[in-house]
Amino acid sequence: MRESHQITTLFFGETKEIVGTSCGIIDLPAECTARQLLDSIFDKFPKLLPLRGSLLLALDRKLIDLCDYTVLHHLTSSSELAVLPPFSGG
């Protein structure tokens, strides 16, 4: 049986408005790729799909390279996933 964890997922800015909450829980395998993280987020929170190409994810306060689907991220029950809206600045 594959080990999994319930990961606290935090939403900020536009993502918080879209899902209607500032946090949620996602079940994820103990080791997963960026693609698996994204797919799990969109499975649980499908209203975020329009932002698919512009979301940023941070795992335990470190940004994830969403273009690299080969890196395995090691999760624990204390891991925290942040879903960030696109940033703009000036």
Provide mean pLDDT across the span 12-39: 93
Looking at residue 26, the DSSP 8-state letter turns out to be: E
* pTM of the predicted model as reported, rounded to 2 decimal places: 0.87
18, 16, 43, 83 alpha-carbon torsion, rounded to 10°? 130
* End-to-end Cα distance, the chain: 49
Fold of 4-84: Ubiquitin-like (UB roll) (3.10.20)
Give the tens place of pLDDT for each residue, 41-50.
Answer: 999 999 999 9
Provide mean pLDDT across the span 74-84: 92
Band of the pLDDT at 89, cuts 50, 70, 90? Answer: low
Residue 39 host element (H or E)? helix 34-44
Contact between 51 and 85 (Cβ < 8 Å): yes
Separation of alpha carbons 17 and 20, rounded Å: 5
